[in-house]
Amino acid sequence: MTAPVILWFRRDLRLADQPALAAAVASGAPVIPVFILDDDTPKHRKMGAASRWWLHHSLMALDADLRGLGSRLILRSGKSDEILNALAAETGASAVHCIRHYEPWWRNAEKAVVNALPKGCELVCHDGNYLLPAGSVTTGSGGQYKIYTPFMRALWQHMPPAVPLASPTAVTVPDTWPDSENLGDWNLLPTKPDWSGGMSEMWTPGEKGAQARLAAFDDKAQYYDEKRNLPSVEGSSFLSPHLHFGEISPAACWHATMRAGGSVDVFLKELVWRDYAQNVIVQFPEYGAKNARDAFDKLPWRDLSDPAVMADFVAWTKGRTGYPIVDAGMRQLWATGWMHNRVRMITASFLIKHLLIDWREGEKWFWDTLVDADYGSNSVNWQWTAGTGVDSNMFVRIMAPLSQSEKFDAARYIREWVPELAELQEPAIHDPDEFGARPKSYPRKVIGHKAARERALKAHEAVKG
Ligand code: FAD
């Protein structure tokens, strides 16, 4: 009997355009697909609660898809290197195939797996979750890009990406399957209370759900540039959690969007942001925890151990700041695990500049509540908004949430997510306090825009000094 090969799934939970699966199948050996719930590897950033909900459903979908090919998914939990070593020893596997990931903990885990595998079993890493492997697009002198625009231009020279691989039609299976843990025992779903109702309504985790989202975007792609900034309109692709969990490849998204036709470059450039974020965390593995600009270490953030500051933070998380656009966004996030990109920028800027609370607190909240929580994309966008990043907006450019709300026509969005304001008309709905139209059930602004702006600019003096 030929020695089997192990297929190590992480956040690449698909069968189509999955080069590790394709290589495992091409080897002709029996394939043992495994997913390891790894909360144990040192410095591994544990998945947030919304991501765990997604993972549960995505693993169910992957197992069902594998069963459609006569195969199945083996589940194990623990440190990746120890589990893979044990599984390889137990099955006599000759190789472990996986897709390469760039989070610092996954890069460390890959190194640990190489050292841990029994003799005769090798780790084979493939590329496939990004348009190009992180680190492969270099400057003329061979260095790494730190700024998005030149990175995007350089990457663009290598596009389109390779044509996506089809799903295999058959997978060779082993004579006997190794033991698997039960998904239900992992307790990935919330109970007491179960807050996942809104997420179940909005999302279908898994490869089929991803393909349906992509197909639905076909007709919208050419209007993306016009509509993507309007939170009241479904103008973007809603592909982010599917891309994060690798239920669809960016190459598949690229080619499908090109086929849809029209002017789609703006959308494709957003996909490049995803690659850019991975390139940043490869260069700065601590990007989620450390200001890229050291001068910002001096910024006097308000202290969360002060109950008044904590109350402001809680008001932000619960969508009760008295700024309708901010509150709508934070409630959309809580209910669905997703927030419109423009509103992510507004809510993040509000926490950092209006409330003068450290961006890392916001990054952690998003990490826990987003279904697309992604170490690279989340930290790069938070540092961009805070002005602390290698490529970022300037701290002193302070977004005015109320005029952003008017400019991007958010009235319908606010009515949907802040029902207390549903009866208000424009312009009062954008700023009920100012127009004397605030219902009793809706909070006063936690701080006025002018006062907040002055406080933020004063705090920034410490950075300049
Ligand atoms: P579309 O507009 O349809 O874009 C297509 C795809 O391109 C997205 O699915 C995503 O994979 C990628 N993309 C688009 N914009 C960005 C961007 N600015 N940075 C990186 N990739 C991008 N995105 C995440 O996937 N995970 C995160 O944890 C995350 N955190 C964020 C935090 C903040 C403070 C901000 C301002 C943005 C964050 N984003 C994050 C980026 C962006 O908001 C989402 O990717 C986008 O809203 C997802 O919706 P969509 O799939 O409809 O995007």
CATH code, domain with 11: 3.40.50.620
The alpha carbon of 240 and the centre of ligand 1 are apart by a number of angstroms equal to 6
Query: Is residue 171 very low, low, confident or very high in pLDDT (cuts 50, 70, 90)?
Result: very high
Query: Phi and psi at residue 312, in whole multiples of 5°?
Result: -65, -40
Token duo for residue 179: 């033991």
Diameter of the chain measured on Cα atoms: 79
Q: Annotated catalytic residue: which of 108, 122, 181, 341?
A: 341
**Residue 120, CB-side half-sphere exposure with 13 Å CA sphere:** 8
Looking up residue 219, the CATH number of its domain turns out to be: 1.25.40.80
The total number of residues written for the chain in this structure: 465
- Dist CA 41 CA 105 (whole Å): 8
Could you tell me if 255 and 342 lie in one domain?
A: no
236 pocket-lining for ligand 1 (C-beta < 6 Å) = yes
Residues 43 and 18 in one domain: yes
What is the per-residue pLDDT for 440? 97
What's residue 261's pLDDT? 81
Whether the predicted pLDDT of 284 surpasses 80: yes
Q: Per residue in 90-118, is it b (16+ CB within 10 Å) or e — as a string?
A: ebebbbbbbbbbbbbbbbbbbebbeebbe
User: Residue 292, CB half-sphere, CA atoms under 13 Å: how many?
Assistant: 24
C-beta of 382 in contact with ligand 1 (< 6 A) = yes
377 lines ligand 1 (CB under 6 A): yes
- Please determine, for residue 359, whether its predicted confidence score (pLDDT) is greater than 90: yes
Q: 169 lies in a domain?
A: no
Same domain, 238 and 335: no
Q: How confident is the model at residue 263 (pLDDT cuts 50, 70, 90)?
A: confident
Instruction: Say whether both 211 and 258 belong to one domain.
Output: yes
Average pLDDT over residues 373-378: 98
The count of domains in the chain is 3
pLDDT at 237: 97
Rounded to whole angstroms, how far apart are CA atoms 382 and 389? 8
Tabulate helix, strand, coil % of the chain (nearest 5). 50, 5, 45
The residues near 212 (Cβ < 8 Å, ≥ 6 apart) are: 204
Q: How confident is the model at residue 409 (pLDDT cuts 50, 70, 90)?
A: very high
Tell me, yes or no, whether 182 lies in a domain.
no
Question: Which residue out of 131, 360, 381, 399 has the highest number of ligand 1 atoms within 8 Å of its CB and is therefore the one to mutate?
Answer: 381
Which residues have a Cβ under 8 Å from the Cβ of 192 and sit 6 or more positions away? none
- Residue 186 Cβ contacting ligand 1 at under 6 Å: no
Residue pair 295/420 in contact by the 8 Å Cβ criterion: no
Looking at residue 219, what is its pLDDT?
A: 86
DSSP 12: -
| Alpha carbons 269 and 42: distance in angstroms, whole number | 35
* 232 located within any domain: yes
Three-state DSSP state, 393 = coil
In a domain, residue 185? The reply is: no
Catalytic site includes residue 365 = no
User: What are the pLDDT digits (tens) for 55-79?
Assistant: 999 999 999 999 999 999 999 999 9
CA distances, 290 to each of 80, 302, 365 (Å): 26, 17, 16
Are 257 and 215 a contacting pair, CB within 8 Å? no
pLDDT band at 42 (very low <50, low <70, confident <90, very high): confident
Does residue 400 form part of some domain? yes
Q: Would you say residue 30 lies in a domain? A: yes
Query: What does the mean pLDDT of the chain come to?
Result: 97
341 alpha carbon – ligand 1 mean position (Å): 6
Active site residue 234: no
Same domain assignment for residues 355 and 450: yes
- Quick one: pLDDT at residue 464? 84
Please report how many Cα atoms fall inside a 13 Å half-sphere around the Cα of residue 133, on the Cβ side.
8
Atom from ligand 1 closest to the CA of residue 348: 34
Task: Tell me if residue 359 is catalytic.
Answer: yes
Q: How far is the CA of 70 from the centre of ligand 1 (A)?
A: 35
Residue 344 domain boundaries: 294-464
* 322 and 410 part of one domain: yes
Pair 130, 12: CB distance under 8 Å: no
What element of type H or E holds 421? none
- The DSSP call for residue 352 is I
Q: Where are the beta strands (DSSP E) in 104-178?
A: 122-126
Residues 6 or more apart whose CB falls under 8 angstroms from that of 298 comprise: 462, 463, 465
User: 270 CB less than 6 Å from ligand 1?
Assistant: yes
Residue 404 near ligand 1, beta carbon < 6 Å: no
Task: Please identify, by atom number, the ligand 1 atom nearest to the C-alpha of residue 228.
Answer: 2
Q: By percentage, how much of the chain surpasses pLDDT 90?
A: 96
Select from 27, 4, 206, 19 the least CA-distant residue to 99: 19
Let me know whether 116 and 140 are in one domain: no
For a ligand 1 pocket test, name from 217, 270, 367, 385 the mutation site with the most ligand atoms within 8 angstroms of its C-beta.
270
Domain membership of residue 192 (yes or no) is no
Query: Domain containing 342 — which CATH number?
Result: 1.10.579.10
As a whole number, mean pLDDT of residues 88-104 equals: 98
User: Nearest-5° angle of CA 61, CA 67, CA 71?
Assistant: 125
pLDDT tier for residue 43 given thresholds of 50, 70 and 90: confident
Token duo for residue 344: 């992510």
Q: Render pLDDT for 313-330 as a digit per residue (tens, 0 to 9).
A: 999 999 999 999 999 999
Do 111 and 136 share a domain, yes or no? Answer: no
- Examine the residue annotation and report whether 273 is marked as an active-site residue of this protein: yes
Q: What is the pLDDT of residue 242?
A: 98
1 pLDDT band, cuts 50/70/90, is confident
Whether 349 and 445 map to the same domain: the answer is yes
DSSP codes of every residue in 235-248: -S---HHHHHTTSS
Res. 144 pLDDT band, cuts 50 70 90: very high
If you average pLDDT over residues 435-463, what whole number do you get? 97
Ligand 1 neighbourhood includes 372 CB (under 6 angstroms): yes
Rounded-to-integer distance, Cα 120 and Cα 94, Å: 6
Given 108, 301, 393, 434, the catalytic residue: 301
- 259 and 363 co-located in one domain: no
Contact by Cβ (8 Å): 1, 175: yes
Ligand 1 contact, 101 CB (< 6 A): no
pLDDT of residue 41: 83
Q: Is 53 a catalytic residue?
A: no
Q: Could you tell me if residue 174 is inside a domain?
A: no
Domain finish residue from 78, 105, 128 = 128
Q: Where are the alpha helices (DSSP H) in 375-448?
A: 375-386, 401-407, 411-417
- Ligand 1 pocket, mutate which of 240, 243, 249, 351 (most atoms under 8 A from CB): 240
Q: Facing residues of 35 across strands? A: 9, 75
Rounded average pLDDT over 437-458: 97
Answer whether residue 183 shows pLDDT above 80: yes
Mean pLDDT (whole number) for 192-202: 96
Which residues are paired to 32 by β-bridges? 6
The pair of structure tokens assigned to 288 is 């989620």
Peptide bond into 427 cis (omega under 30): yes
Q: Are residues 116 and 155 in the same domain?
A: no
Q: 341 and 326 in one domain?
A: yes
Of residues 170, 134, 237, 153, the one with CA closest to residue 24: 170
pLDDT of residue 426: 96
Domain boundary among 128, 146, 176: 128
Question: 417 near 328, Cβ under 8 Å?
Answer: yes
Q: To test the ligand 1 pocket, which listed residue (233, 338, 339, 372) has its Cβ within 8 A of the most ligand atoms? A: 372
What spacing in Å lies between the alpha carbon of 277 and ligand 1's midpoint?
10
Cβ contact 358:36 at 8 Å:
no
Output the six-digit token pair for 464: 């300049």
Q: Which atom, in ligand 1's list, is nearest to the CA of 271?
A: 7
C-alpha distances (whole Å) from 210 to each of 27, 48, 56, 131, 294 are: 28, 21, 15, 17, 40
Contacts of residue 35, Cβ cutoff 8 Å, sequence gap at least 6: 9, 10, 13, 59, 62, 73, 74, 75, 76
Ligand 1 closest atom vs CA 339: 47
| 434 catalytic residue (yes or no) | no
Ligand 1 in contact with 228 (CB < 6 A)? yes
Is pTM, for the whole model, over 0.85? yes
